[in-house]
Amino acid sequence: MSFSSLGLSDALVRAVIERGYTVPTPIQRQAIPAVLSGGDLLAGAQTGTGKTAGFTLPILQRLAADNSHNKSSHTPIRALILTPTRELAAQVEESVREYGKYVKLKSMVMFGGVGIQPQIQQLRGRVDILVATPGRLLDHVGQGTLNLSQVEVLVLDEADRMLDMGFIHDIKKVLALLPRQRQNLLFSATFSDEIRTLADHLLNRPALIEVARRNAPAEAVTQRVHPVDRERKRELLAHLIRENDWRQVLVFMRTKHGANRLSEQLTRGGIAALAIHGNKSQSARTHALAQFKSGALRVLVATDIAARGIDIIELPHVVNFELPNVPEDYVHRIGRTGRAGAEGEAVSLVCVDEYKLLADIEKLLKRSVPREIIPGFEPDPRIKAEPIPNGRSRSPASGRGAAPTRSAESARSNHARNPSAHWRGATHPRSAESRRENLQRPA
């Protein structure tokens, strides 16, 4: 099957081929015709499956087919794509530009952490497709610089992460600004009960696509656990990088402080590393990511939120220096490698504090991750488990580490994991259409 057989124009197919893609992925084969049909869509696909093209290509096709706006220097925003992080917003908008290079449509990316005036200036010109994070979008609405009254298509990308980050109230506010008649597309790496609750209130008789097992990691990723004492993790990481001559390694930490400290320690030890997290300025994050993508930077140390939008072709190595407090985040982390059919390797350095976290991950995966003790780094059996910072600790003597709980960075709200609670203020409307109307009321 080719991209042209999915109903895409020659201009879009040409741009896709120039990016090196000739055969659509499973999510693209199903999502593109569904979006072109004009109906709502609920799509679940693990990271690295090509879901961004699955919605950007048909949106470009639909908007380009309507030539009524093409001669105007100022057009209403016709498609709105909401993402949880700056990096993901930039990545999606780059895809819109690349795929739409031969059609007469203009796109814009909008997020916080940078000056708002250049964005205001850009909004005075033509913007057909807007890719934005919810916070900065609402900043513009508050300043009266943004009109969303003619949006034809709404996309919630990485919807599961938006709920995790507590964006449910912001999403409701944005929905209140949109016309009632529109196409809604909800994309998520996982299909949790919370996602289904959101979809039930947002979508009208949606097509349903799920191309991977729920919460499944990329099949092309080789996973491995190296048991090691907590105080020797950095030494082991440096050993693995040097011994195996790893040239491009994405390392995950639970906290911003830990990411800073590890990157500094690696750099002092002769391994070029930079940290990327929410406290870094946007220019610093962009610089670090560009250096890493180009191969000039050997190690990028990241927190979960900052790494959400990282999409690097053929990234070979992901290292969990610290296991995440929430099992689903492990799937998102290792999904940074093994993308688009390429092979990848995910290594986890696990100390005695994290045995319970590892057990929770394996329960989610429904299989055990192979263990391999590196000679010279054998764990000391006399060391007892200690509570994990940012977690509800169990008794250290139990050897079970910390119970899963989200860090402050990955949970802006205590209610983020239960968005259904936010819909309980009114009785459930009987139809999908009236449910959506209920969301139009200002929050």
262/210 same-domain check: no
pLDDT digits (tens, 9 = 90+) for 287-319: 888 888 888 899 999 988 766 656 676 688 999
Predicted confidence band of residue 42 (pLDDT cuts 50, 70, 90): very high
> Rounded CA gap, 58 and 61, in Å?
5
In a domain, 347, yes or no: yes
Question: What is the arrangement of strands in the sheet containing 107-110, beginning at the earlier edge strand?
Answer: 107-110, 129-132, 79-82, 153-156, 183-188, 41-44, 207-210
203/247 same-domain check: no
Q: How many helices (H) and strands (E) does the chain have?
A: 15, 15
191/288 same-domain check: no
In a domain, 336, yes or no: yes
The proportion of the chain whose per-residue pLDDT surpasses 90, expressed as a percent, equals: 51
Does 216 or 199 have the greater pLDDT score?
199
Can you tell me which residue has the tokens 């000739």? 22
Is the pLDDT reported for residue 275 higher than 80? yes
Q: Find the range with the poorest average confidence among 15-29, 380-394, 422-436.
A: 422-436
Average pLDDT, the chain: 82
Q: Find the range with the poorest average confidence among 77-81, 352-356, 389-393.
A: 389-393
Task: Please answer whether residues 302 and 331 qualify as being in contact, where contact means their C-beta atoms are separated by less than 8 angstroms.
Answer: no
197/132 same-domain check: yes
In a domain, 410, yes or no: no
Is the pLDDT reported for residue 219 higher than 80? no
192/232 same-domain check: no
60/201 same-domain check: yes
171/313 same-domain check: no
- Specify the pLDDT at position 14: 93
Predicted confidence band of residue 76 (pLDDT cuts 50, 70, 90): confident
268/141 same-domain check: no
Predicted confidence band of residue 259 (pLDDT cuts 50, 70, 90): very high
- Specify the pLDDT at position 423: 43
pLDDT digits (tens, 9 = 90+) for 325-378: 888 888 878 877 766 556 789 999 999 999 999 999 999 888 899 999 999 999
Q: Find the range with the poorest average confidence among 64-73, 162-171, 240-249, 367-376.
A: 64-73
Is the pLDDT reported for residue 178 higher than 80? yes
- Selection from 347, 371, 357, 330 nearest residue 239 by Cα: 347
Can you tell me which residue has the tokens 């964006």? 167
Is the pLDDT reported for residue 121 higher than 90? yes
Quote the DSSP letter at residue 309. Answer: G
Does 214 or 417 have the greater pLDDT score?
214
In a domain, 413, yes or no: no
The proportion of the chain whose per-residue pLDDT surpasses 70, expressed as a percent, equals: 80
Return the SS3 of 355: helix
Residue 160 belongs to domain spanning:
4-214+427-439
How many Cβ atoms sit within 10 Å of the Cβ of residue 43?
25
137/251 same-domain check: no
164/240 same-domain check: no
pTM of the model: 0.61
List all residues 6 or more positions away from 170 whose beta carbon is below 8 Å from its beta carbon.
Answer: 134, 135, 137, 138
Beta bridge partners of 250: 300, 318
Q: What is the CATH number of the domain that holds 289?
A: 3.40.50.300
- Specify the pLDDT at position 420: 41
201/299 same-domain check: no
pLDDT digits (tens, 9 = 90+) for 409-427: 333 333 333 444 444 333 3
- Selection from 263, 345, 332 nearest residue 301 by Cα: 263
How many residues are given for the chain? 443
Is the pLDDT reported for residue 395 higher than 70? no
For the chain, the domain total comes to: 2
In a domain, 151, yes or no: yes
86/151 same-domain check: yes
